[in-house]
């Protein structure tokens, strides 16, 4: 089954998700730089949401660069991933405007955890669709330490939300760190293929 | 005629349709988990709408995987399908917030029926564009029991809306069940082709 | 220069334009079929706008099916076409809710005229980018009677808006008629190529 | 690494950015041409924003037409470019409705500067991903005078905002001028390749 439409649909949905929060930045009311001040949270949240979604987009991109075959299961795993990541902007927005409270921070943590779980499931479903001797299995078959690290961080963020809320966000966004640079081995492999 | 742009346009439109309802989930007002409670309907409706649209996207994907040729008629049948499915989010939203009333439930049933009819017409138009000995005709030429089942379920949902409204939704979403797993034979055929 | 990205960007923009008016249909207020009544205009306008934009999309699709080469000028002509068609939903919405008044009807006529002019310019720019013996020139080089007909109809719609406004819309949407079935010759040619 | 998905994601995001301001044009209130008058700023701002974003889209298109290979760094440089250009509509909107004030004009200048810097970084990252003897390096390796000119113009616009605000916009949009016609050499090269 061809992967090109799954990629196109994913790109379309993620393009919308990534721009949801920019649509919510209103025109500043006033004519001084002070008029930008009330928008500072919305701007920062847009940056964070943009960063988060593009980090996952980059990794999705790398994942499918070496994907050779997909299955009905992969379609559904990908849809589930899109569903979880589509909740990211609103969760980030709520947590960002209430950094001192447990519920918004914990909710953001839960969404981060869900995104990481769904990405993990996506990788596993892709593994099942590939033969054991495929390039994909070679790169992603040995388990994904990144995924376990991120799920742990998100879980830590959820727990911390009830103890010291502002610290929770650091754990949540911390789970992005290993994903900022997508898989080096994939990069190197693709460079050799040229 | 190349099918790639029809797929791209469909992906673009469906990416927007699938995210319409997430745009309507507002930032929770408050700082407790209780603030999420008033959003429960919108969240559930988003899930249902997301599920519904992605079910049809998956099947559209399978349908066009083995499509070899399209015609002017296919373009129009596809546009009609996009029109009907674009009414899904609003119909689901209305029905979902008024599960005890006939009109919203029946309206959702009518939209489900329209989507199934337009998908059926799309398959028929594709059949007309393919030669009788094509792979497409082999798979989709013998009539689509799924389509008839779904149309019957949607029709049942419309009638039930006037008798016992909450039961109507079960029939409507029931018509998705056979489509959740897209055509196995297509999957198997595509796997062999690799 | 490859045409694929021009097509992809056009598909993305037109997918948004086609769904602009569905975003404006609010959830019906009430629990009876009567609650749909106040939405009748918005629904009809959505249908008209959807039809209009998809008619042009279909023709854009046919046009680029036999396009072999594009130029910097084609990029700009296409952008201009996208700009004019992006004003269609709002013009249709205004005219549709005030069918008895000259200004809204004439404005819609002006937008229809602008869309037809920009499509005509797009065809001319594509002709300039193709060699005189190309397939594209063979099909689109002899002038486009459809375009002249449509521009005349739109112009008639503008004039009529000041005499008998409701009749104006008939002329505007009348200019779509010859475009509903895209070029037959292109269809036949592409069928032979298979 | 294949460039096709980067292009698709960019097209999706830019299709949304380019239509953000058309979504904000409300249906005219009234039935005379006078009803269009209060919308004049929104219409002009939409035109300016559309022009600005499509100028960059056209240049992005040319840039990637001769791109042969991308890297993880290119993905991030492209995301940064998308982030800066996504702030263009709102900056244009603010500056456009307050042409006599320093802050809105200077803010627009800062966004123009940021877009030009991010585009410059994108070119540099692409250069790093290509071999010194590649076609890409041949065309874009000798430094981009256009970029320096535009950055200078934007910087001038920022400074002028504090001296004579309305003049600032001329400098900002002036920085688009050299980009309206994308690289001629690329055009000519691609024509030869056919």
- Residue C12 touches chain A, beta carbons under 8 Å: yes
CB B187 within 8 A of CB B138: no
Strands (E) located in chain C: none
Q: What is the pLDDT of residues D108-154, one digit of tens each?
A: 999 999 999 999 999 999 999 888 888 888 888 776 788 899 999 99
**For residue B112, pLDDT beyond 70:** yes
Contact present, C92 and C108 (Cβ < 8 Å): yes
User: Does the beta-carbon distance from A13 to B8 stay under 8 Å?
Assistant: no
Residue written as token pair 């097209």: D11
DSSP state of C110: H
Closest CB to A16: pick one of B15, B187, B190. Answer: B15
Q: Which residue has the higher pLDDT, C173 or C188?
A: C173
C-alpha distance from residue A142 to each of A139, A148, A186, B33, C90 (Å): 7, 12, 14, 38, 54
D74 CA: distance to closest CA in chain C (Å): 18
Task: Decide: B11 and A9 in contact? Cβ < 8 Å.
Answer: yes
Q: What is the DSSP string of D94-124?
A: HHHH-TT-HHHHHHHHHHHHHHHHHHHHHHH
Give residue C108's pLDDT band: very low, low, confident or very high (50, 70, 90).
very high
Distances (CA, A) of C26 to B109, C17, C43: 19, 18, 10
Residue positions counted in chain B: 194
Per-residue pLDDT at B152 exceeds 70 = yes
Q: Which residue has the higher pLDDT, C153 or A191?
A: C153
More confident residue, A65 or B1: A65
CB contact B16 to D (< 8 Å): no
User: Is C150:C180 a contact under the CB 8 Å cutoff?
Assistant: no
Both tokens of B145, joined, read: 């029991």
Per-residue pLDDT, D104: 93
**Contact flag C9-D8 (C-beta cutoff 8 Å):** no
What is the predicted pLDDT for the residue at B87? Answer: 94
Per-residue pLDDT, C194: 60
Q: Is B101 on the interface with C (CB under 8 A)?
A: yes
Region C41-58: mean pLDDT is 90
Helices (H), chain B: 4-23, 40-65, 72-86, 88-97, 102-129, 135-140, 145-163, 165-174, 177-180, 184-193
Instruction: Give the range with max mean pLDDT: A101-115, B170-184, D88-102.
Output: A101-115
Least confident of A23-27, A83-87, C46-50: A23-27
Q: What is the mean pLDDT of residues C162-177?
A: 88
Contact C104 D15 (CB under 8 A): no
Contact B50 A15 (CB under 8 A): no
Chain A residues in contact with C15 (beta carbon < 8 A): 12
Q: Is the minimum CB–CB distance between A177 and chain D shorter than 8 Å?
A: no
Domain borders along chain D are 4-193
B186 pLDDT higher than 80: no
Tell me the average pLDDT across C22-47.
88
Is the pLDDT at A114 greater than 90? The verdict is yes
Question: Of chain C residues 128-167, which have a CB less than 8 A from chain A?
Answer: none
**For chain A, what percent of residues have pLDDT higher than 70?**
98
Q: Is it the case that residue A194 has pLDDT exceeding 90? A: no
- The interface pTM score, or ipTM, of the predicted complex is 0.91
CA distance B80 to A136: 39
- Do residues D82 and D14 touch, judged by C-beta distance below 8 A? yes
Q: From C8, which residue of chain A is nearest by alpha-carbon distance?
A: A8
Residues of B in contact with A75 (CB under 8 A): 58, 61, 182
Q: What are phi and psi of C146, to 5 degrees?
A: -55, -45
Q: Confidence band (pLDDT; 50, 70, 90) for A123?
A: very high
CA end-to-end distance (rounded Å), chain D: 24
pLDDT at residue C125 is higher than 80: yes
CB contact under 8 Å between A32 and D101, yes or no, is yes
Contacts with C176 (C-beta within 8 Å, 6 or more apart), sequence order = C51, C52, C55, C150
Position C146 scores a pLDDT of 86
Is the pLDDT confidence value at B68 over 80? yes
pLDDT digits (tens, 9 = 90+) for A71-80: 888 999 999 9
Per-residue pLDDT band at B6 (split at 50, 70, 90): very high
What does the pLDDT average to over D5-26? 90
Closest in A31, A36, A184 to D101, CB measured: A31
**Minimal C-alpha gap between C97 and chain D (Å):** 10
CA distance B8 to chain A (A): 7
Partners of B69 on chain C (C-beta within 8 Å) are 191, 194
Instruction: Please check the confidence at residue B63 and state whether its pLDDT lies above 80.
Output: yes
- The pLDDT score that the predictor gives to residue D159 is 94
Name the band, by pLDDT with cuts 50, 70 and 90, for residue A146. Answer: confident
Summarised one tens digit per residue, pLDDT across range B28-50 is 998 999 999 988 888 888 898 89
pLDDT tens-digit profile of D44-56? 888 988 999 999 9
Quick check: C27 pLDDT over 70? Answer: yes
Contacts of A160 (CB under 8 A, 6+ apart): A105, A109, A167, A168, A171
Q: Which are the contacts of D30, defined by CB distance < 8 A and separation ≥ 6?
A: none
């Amino acid at each position: 089954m061809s992967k090109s439409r799954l990629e196109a649909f994913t790109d379309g949905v993620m393009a919308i998700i990534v721009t949801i929060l920019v649509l919510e930045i209103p025109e500043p009311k006033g004519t001084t730089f002070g008029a930008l001040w009330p928008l500072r949270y919305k701007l920062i949240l847009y940056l964070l949401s943009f960063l988060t979604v593009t980090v996952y987009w980059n990794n999705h991109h790398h994942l499918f660069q070496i994907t050779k075959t997909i299955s009905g299961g992969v379609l559904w795993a990908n849809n589930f991933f899109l569903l979880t990541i589509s909740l990211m902007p609103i969760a980030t927005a709520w947590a960002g405007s209430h950094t001192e409270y447990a519920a918004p921070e914990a909710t953001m943590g839960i969404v981060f955890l869900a995104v990481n779980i769904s990405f993990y499931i996506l990788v596993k479903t892709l593994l099942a669709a590939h033969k054991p001797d495929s390039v994909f299995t070679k790169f992603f078959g040995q388990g994904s330490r990144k995924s376990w690290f991120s799920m742990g961080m998100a879980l830590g963020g959820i727990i911390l939300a009830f103890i010291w809320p502002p610290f929770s966000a650091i754990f949540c966004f911390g789970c992005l760190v290993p994903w900022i640079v997508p898989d080096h081995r994939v990069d190197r492999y693709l460079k050799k293929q040229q």
